[in-house]
Amino acid sequence: MKMKRLLALSLTLALTVTTFSGCGKSQEAAINSQSSMQEVMAKFPIKNTNDAPSIKGGVLKVAVVSASAFEGIFNPCFSDNQPDADIYQWFMENVLSADENFVFDQDGAATYTYDQTAKTMTLKLKDGIKWHDGQPVTLDDLVYAYEIICDKDYEGMRYDEQFTNIVGVEEFHAGKAKTISGLELSADKMTLTIKFKNFFPSILVGGIWIAPIPRHYYEEIPVKEMKAHEKSRKTPIGFGPFKIKSIVSGESVELVRNDDYYLGAPKLAGVTLTVIAPDLVPAAMEEGKFDIALFSQQQYPDYKEPKNFSYLGQLQTVFNYTAFKLGKWDQKNNKNIYDPNSKMANVKLRQAIGYAVDNDKIAKELYNGLRFLATTVVTPRHAAYQNTEIAGYTYDPEKAKKLLDEAGYKDVNNDGYREDPNGKSFSITWATMDGEGADTYAQFKIQNWKDVGLKVELYNGRLTEFNAFYDAVEHDDPKIDMYDGAWQTGFDPNPKNLWGPDSSANYTRYTSDTLDAIMSDISSEKAWDKAFLSEKYHAFQQVFFDEAPAIPTMWRMGLEAVNNRVKNYEVTSFDIKCFAHLIELTAEAPMKKADVK
């Protein structure tokens, strides 16, 4: 699973008007927020309960919530958009599954062992697994996926560190080798040994490519033509519990049961997946048009007590943050260069900005309690690594004022705004993205900052469109002092690609010796020692909190609406756990609101 940037605010058209009233005060905001998170988690289970007797077969109707048509690239090597992945996960499976901490486990199509000293990982595929066309699956198909992605003609986003860290990949990519020397296949093609250059624990946390591509099926199709080929578009095959029956380009996909599925024939007769505009989801769920649909946080308040469906929820690996521009990206050496004289370089100033904002209130009121005050940049979904002792930047305007006073930012001309330590007028330019509720969000925060005497102005005087925002932030537009963004971290919470000294995605451009040392420890071979790793993660979060190159603001809960006739469904992605074959139905058609008394 990949990391990605998110819109800070969701873009749905829900008609919710939120007003902020008064100013809340809470020293215990962090504790309250933790307890409210527990409450919300208790309210939204991960798995649904349905004790009714199940029917035989039945077709599950899944909504693909998207404002636009799906692109329809059903080949994980080339696809890079969510709707496609939501669809192909029903018929394409990976060779490894993962446990609740996202670490590869032994329950998938293959089992694995690893050897720290030899820096290898060995995968062994179970016998009798067949592609949808009846051909046996082998690990040569996995090797094929590596050969596609590492090919010099491959134009996609997958060729990254995950691959270049394998022995022989760079030679293959440069065209100097015919095969990837670090991938050793046994004679029966059922065992594969992968040899790494550096071997660290992150590799076991979703750190290798595990989606095989049927070599026999693509035969001699060149890598260049593969993404547009009808075998990736119209007739894709996998070895998952369902197989393709028909595809209506950009709109819907019909799947039928794969009786040869290696974990046992699925209970359902089939699945249909249909695109639906986000605005129509609640009404469509009430009228029983779908069995399963993602539900937006903005739409939830109007449908708190649904009758014919229920909500499942899961904490997401997403955090929102406010970050500061503290240096420059050195393009030549691929390094971040921290500028200790930059405008936001005073750590007390940054901390004060953090304490000044009531993120708890934003989470509760603007996001209807489905977001929570974030205390660190490691999300609660990665509980094993999270440092729960950090209180986070809870709302405390008095503390913010005190910090600003200490740092020398004082209002010398009594205009209500603080001047900088030299007595010159001081205003901060803040970039934040446009979207539903973005205006309220921005005005609320600007007011909070004003309350402690900080003058904050929007970048270019307005909210910024997504592409323009990241373009400006990425290229270190000197006008931006501070920006709000969101990251989805994927399986591995390793911070080095978000905050590391040589990561171009560390848009703060902040580096510090302590922080960098801890991050390199997390990615070192010493980290195989679990206690060491956990200690380093905790230390990372503490130092990050103290040095405050960015202020984590919110974590979030993802909601799915599930019709009452569905049985054995859970919100866990099939990437982690294969259970699609166990899903059952207890009625012939989805229940409607009118059916339930």
**Interface contacts to other proteins, rule CB under 8 A:** 2-5, 67-69, 71-73, 78, 80-81, 155, 157, 159-162, 164, 227-228, 233, 245-246, 248-254, 272, 274-277, 279-280, 283-284, 286-287, 289, 331, 334, 465-468, 470-472, 474, 497-498, 503-505
Pick between residue 211 and residue 454 the one whose CB is nearest to other proteins: 211
CB atoms within 10 A of CB 530: 10
Q: How far is the CB of 78 from other proteins (least distance, A)?
A: 6
The residue (of 20 and 470) whose beta carbon lies closer to other proteins is 470
| CB-side neighbour CA atoms (13 Å) of 125 | 27
Rounded to whole angstroms, the Cα distance separating 355 from 465 reads 27
**CB of 31 or CB of 248, closer to other proteins:** 248
> Which pair of structure tokens corresponds to residue 149?
């992605």
Tokens of 110: 């293959």
Smaller CB separation from other proteins, 130 or 233? 233
CA separation for the pair 405, 228 (Å, rounded): 61
Least Å distance, CB 406 to other proteins, is: 34
Please count the residues of the chain.
597
Minimum distance from CB of 245 to other proteins (Å)? 6
Q: Which is nearer to other proteins, 83 or 453 (CB)?
A: 83
Q: Min. distance of Cβ 187 from other proteins in angstroms? A: 34
**In whole angstroms, what is the distance from residue 399 CA to residue 353 CA?**
10
Q: Which residue has the tokens 């800070």?
A: 8
The distance of closest approach from Cβ of residue 450 to other proteins in the complex, given in angstroms and rounded to an integer, is 29
Q: Which is nearer to other proteins, 384 or 468 (CB)?
A: 468
Judged by beta carbon, residue 384 or residue 589, the one nearer other proteins is 589
In the complex, minimum distance from the CB of residue 472 to other proteins, in angstroms, rounded to a whole number? 7
Give the number of other CB atoms < 10 A from CB of residue 372.
Answer: 26
Rounded least distance, CB 279 to other proteins, Å: 7
Q: Which is nearer to other proteins, 498 or 571 (CB)?
A: 498
Measured CA to CA in angstroms, residue 183 lies from 120, 178, 192, 516 at distances of: 10, 12, 7, 32
**What is the distance between the alpha carbons of residues 230 and 187, in angstroms, rounded to a whole number?**
32
In the complex with other proteins, which residue's Cβ is closer, 416 or 461?
461
Tokens 């048509």 locate to: 69
Burial class, 398, CB count within 10 angstroms (exposed 0-12 / middle 13-18 / buried 19+) = exposed
Q: Are 67 and 86 in contact, with CB atoms under 8 Å apart?
A: no
Smaller CB separation from other proteins, 171 or 287: 287
Place of tokens 């402690």: 452
Tell me which residue of 465, 333, 337, 356 sits closest to 403, measured CA to CA. Answer: 356
CA distance 253 to 536: 46
For the record, the structure tokens of 163 come out as 């691959």
Smallest gap from residue 2 Cβ to other proteins (A):
5
CB of 381 to other proteins, least distance (A): 18
Q: Which of 198, 202, 196, 208 is nearest to 142 (CA)?
A: 208
Token digits for 317?
A: 């690996």
- Taking alpha carbons only, the member of 514, 489, 517, 516 closest to residue 501 is 516
Compute the least distance from the CB of residue 419 to other proteins, in Å: 33
